[in-house]
Chains A and B, each alone.
Chain A
Amino acid sequence: MSSLLDIRDVSKRFTMGGLFGRKVVDAVVDANFSLSAEKPEIFTIIGESGSGKTTLARMILGLEDPSEGEILFRGQKVDRHEGRAKRLDFMANVQPVFQNPFEAFNPLKKIERYLESTARRFLHTTDKAVIDKAMDEALQKVGLSLKEVRGRFPHEMSGGQLQRCAIARALIPNPPLLIADEPVSMVDASLRMSIVNLLKSLRDDLGVSVIYITHDLATAYYISNRLIIMQRGRIVEMGDARTVLDNPEHPYSRLLKASVLSTDDAGAGKLATDPAMVSLATDMVGKPGRLVDRADGRSVRVHEGA
């Protein structure tokens, strides 16, 4: 079985501060997982901000060097220091969708220009008609059309529309792997499901694997095959999405699940979080522990003395 992506003992450390009062922050600690090339899947990384999920995504994209361990894409090491041709080839295969579309687009340039340069670079063509067609097709997939987008600047569009453009841009080279960092957190309610369903159909119909980074457990449950839950850089639970979320075992996973706003008792105004649950989950931070395999296929971090 060949693998699409291999994450092997990857850690990332950031040093903060100047010469005095230097502080080391462990953003990602010993991450280990792999995606298979034969079976496309939606692999979800769940965690709150500061849990290292975005750092992990940036390392997979080769925007950040891992401090330890290595990341392999189709058996080749992801290295941002290799030649330009190799980088471009890698980029045509692994495309990102970032969190904030307002930061992803240059406010002084028209949106179409951003799409156009992607099409030109990755489709290796200068033919206007081909580029336009590729742009229009990609935009249609996310519920827009070239006619609407043409000539508009990022500030003329809402956050939701802009994020759809960003996803359309990532779809232009038809990549086998998409890294989507909180892709729906700024998308309209009525179009959110169409994008989540789109990710699903990308997997089912086109065989694209998606690394879906989110803090929304409900959509994660809905679309993902496997997931990992991260707390402060450490993977605390990993396994089949449904198995883990139906019955989370780690205290942090349980806290996350309990924090999901339910609509079942709409109007009741239930908002209190059990403080015991919060303290149990935060107590686990920094405690040494290791991932232990369970009978139902998941791995859970077991902490010493807990």
Chain B
Amino acid sequence: MTQKQDNILTVEGLKAYYQMNYFGVEREVRAVDDITMNVRKGEVYGIAGESSSGKTSFIKVLAAAIRPPLRIMSGSVKYDFKTGPIDVARASPAEIEAVRWRHLSYIMQGSMSVLNPVRRIGKTFHDFAARPLGLSGKAFEERVLGHLARLKLPPEVLRAYPHELSGGMRQRVTIGLATVCHPEFVIADEPTTALDVVVQKEVLNLIRDIQKEMNSSVVFVTHDMSVHANVADRVGIIYAGRLVEEGPTRQMFFTPRHPYTAHLVASLPRIGDTRQRPALEGRPPNLADPPQGCRFHPRCPLAVDKCRKEVPPLETVAPDHRSACWRWQDVEPLVNAAAPAGEMA
């Protein structure tokens, strides 16, 4: 493990539940259940997990966008910004307002619904960034234009409405909005899911370049493992509200230590390979009523009695590599790593 001061984000024992009380019926959804992780300065941390795994709730907490019925039950989410440390699980709205966009920023999913359709892009930039930047008029415009040039967007974009731009350009605009204040920490929530392969690669490349240039940290959320393979430095896998495995990208792909990760990697189809891909049976558990013990056990091919009763702890299985599985030693990569000959890079 690296030194503590190298971490920009330290999450400890975070539990965030949805608590609802309608007509006398109480319902508790344990969307984030005891997650401990950290993000280092200048790294891209990939979070993978399927829908209803709690990953969106988790990044909502990270982004300090906690609204009822989502409540933080325990734990801390500490950021170490240049302006000083802040625990967003406990900070006041004013304190959060002070770091939002300036230090802590968010690239949202679905660029069409993020941008106001009846406002020109330039106005949207003004709405977002004028206050955090503390600039106005000419100075603000110059700053925005400089930033657009870096994103390889023409200045005319500022005069356009969102519907006049292509999907890739719109996504670049949202990346521009999120990074115009040069934040130290960016959360990217499925930024390329709706894009074509060619544009997706461009946008990913752009995020990577911007991140390197600003030396900021990025938490990159997507369920597409092939995106993680190319963007993330480290990958964390969330399953049913828990972090089940975390490690350097390469190790996660070639020596996974959790059966769920092994499955995710193995199920990726590849050009040049037509072998039948295994599909995982069953479905993600209902978080209002999660299974006992390890939450993956009903779908797990390796499950034994112990998995049904006891919750496996997240333990270090290799340097920098943690897994929450009782049988991590028995996890085999399902697809051999040998690349078919002649595959294009």
Contact = CB atoms under 8 A, between A and B. Distances in A.
Interface of A: 48-50, 143-144, 158-161, 185-186, 188-194, 196-197, 215-219, 221-222, 242, 245-246, 255-273, 278
A271 B268 contact: no
Contact of B230 (A197, A245, A271): A271
B200 A186 contact: no
Contacts of A218: 226, 268-271
Contacts, number: 157
Given A217-B271, A259-B200, A267-B250, A272 B205 contact: yes
Contacts of B224: 189
Contacts of A270: 230, 345
Most buried by A among B50, B167, B276, B281: B50
Give the interface size class of chain B. Answer: 35 or more
Interface of B: 48, 50-52, 166-167, 193-194, 196-202, 204-205, 208, 223-233, 248-250, 252-254, 260, 263-265, 267-274, 276-284, 337, 339, 343-345
A267 B248 CA distance: 8
Contacts of A50: 166
Nearest to B232: A267
Given A257-B344, A261-B200, 18 more contacts: A188-B223, A189-B267, A190-B50, A191-B279, A197-B279, A217-B197, A255-B198, A259-B198, A260-B271, A261-B201, A261-B226, A261-B229, A263-B225, A263-B268, A267-B253, A269-B230, A273-B198, A273-B202
A257 B342 CA distance: 13
B269 A262 contact: no
Most buried by A among B50, B51, B223, B265: B51
Closest CB pairs A-B (n = 10): A158-B51, A188-B50, A194-B279, A267-B250, A267-B249, A48-B196, A266-B229, A266-B253, A222-B269, A271-B205
A138 B268 CA distance: 25
Given A48-B198, A191-B280, A261-B227, A269 B208 contact: yes
A259 B200 CA distance: 8
Contacts of A217: 197, 271
A186 B270 CA distance: 19
20 contacts: A48-B199, A49-B167, A160-B51, A190-B263, A192-B267, A215-B196, A216-B197, A218-B226, A218-B271, A222-B277, A245-B271, A246-B272, A261-B229, A261-B230, A263-B226, A263-B253, A263-B268, A266-B252, A267-B249, A268-B250
Contact of B50 (A185, A191, A263, A266): A191
